[in-house]
Copies of this chain bind each other. A is one copy, B any other.
Amino acid sequence: MILDFDFTSPIPLYQQLRNQIIINISQGKLKTGEKLPTVRALADESGINSMTVSKAYQLLKQEGYIITDRRSGTVVSMNNRTNTINKEDEEALKLLLSQLHLSGMTKDNILNITERLYAEVVK
């Protein structure tokens, strides 16, 4: 798993980490049952404070993407298959679609890009 942080971004580091892990799971680079690095290891590798890494892991746990298994450490679990879109994601998607529309893109153009990005993220 390759991680890459923007320390100048307005997005908090723990969220950047969470986001990247989610994308990695989606892309199959991290598979269900697979172990994630320990908090400490990931902190050392990436130059991020371990408190920050811990916060990201807690968030992912809470959202059901990972669990902490007593024997094998932190593993991908995917314990959150709702098969539906939640309200926040729906709002975020509406906002994105509005922005793309207002940038002048056509409906077809937007849907094509959505398909392209979907393919990048589901392999």
Contacts and interface: CB of A to CB of B under 8 A. Distances in A.
Given A7-B71, A8-B70, A100 B89 contact: yes
A7 to B, nearest CB: 5
Contacts of A83: 103-105
Range, interface on chain A: 35 or more
A25 interface: yes
B8 A67 contact: yes
A80 B98 contact: no
Interface of A: 7-9, 12-13, 19, 22-23, 25-27, 49, 62, 65, 67-71, 78, 80-86, 89-90, 92-105, 107, 110-111, 113-115, 117-118, 120-122
